[in-house]
Structure 1
């Protein structure tokens, strides 16, 4: 099995996916030309805020038309179903308790063309519900054309449900944040590869070895980066890894197999 070896800290997730795509020949990065030309079903991922709360969102697209979707709060990791429609550069997304009124955000690269999913870098607007109006901001994280119409995000990695796959990633994530090497080891597929740079790595062969090297691997910088990401709706890399954040950890159906250390 080929293993990610890039030094990934300091990159946002979207830039990281693009970098991995160049190295591995992937199709998981945001490819605006392909989006513009494709009328197939795809899924697009965003991260951002509703008010002050951090959220993620996934929309399924049929060409540039919105199909089903969901969003979730980082604090809860529970999907909230969305239905929506698009009118020009404006989007209306509805959930049971409120409505998002959003518009595409560009960075000038659209060359004067109307903004849409193919040439925008995010969404902005408001959420309205229960007598409240909250500001909303989303950054585009990535797009995938695989498994978009099956509802099975990790279908290229495993036949199990997405919830079952993510349960291991979440088990590792919360154990790492709690500083619990014994619990974290339950979700590691040894040997665990720890990349220290693009040219230097080491292999951790057992739970006891992981515990002995815990503080050296799980540095304050690594843990700070870990708190800023979420083990849910993770991008799939090279059809065999789910990537947490900007390459902090890579999961297979057996557990976490690769970490990119941060000193």
Structure 2
């Protein structure tokens, strides 16, 4: 299902309300969380709404999608710091229930296996938030990633490193590899919300619509998921056929 909203603010409102509804219906829910610029207004709106409504988040469990290899949990560009700054420190989460990959793990392959096992031990993800990269990656599952691959270490595509350079200081080196939940864990989630906003995502969203399911565009696999909603703003949806846009505008 595709839903199209006027702008990122309207998208954030919708996704925040969806998160709150999930938490109210299942206070012990397991959430799969994403990072990046797309998620920032969503988390900001969620924090505001959670505070206003007195939402109890203390029984939630979360698993983050990915982390750069080589960055410590205190590195300013790590996703651990991102999550603390944009979400965790603002609400009364139980820190013991917040799971993040360790970018400094001595054996990153074994660490990925243990992370996947821990997630499985919690029964998998109830609601997974996803963004999408300009090349169609979800998490850091780059084009060509096998659909049956679980949590793993990945060498980042050059386009991904170029796209993410804006988050790093001028002259800083963007890490070459990362750890990520695989498409196995993502597709096992009971519900998925994929969010894409901005003109820069319009071409890959249109490719998703035009193409069959293919490992060349990893997020096309979501066409096989029975409970996926693609949430777009008008800019990200601008290259979809007019009849699709007319049917999906909220």
Shorter-chain TM-score category? under 0.3
Q: Which has the higher strand share?
A: 1
TM-score of the two chains, using structure 2 as the length reference: 0.27
Q: Which has the higher helix share?
A: 2
Larger Rg: 1
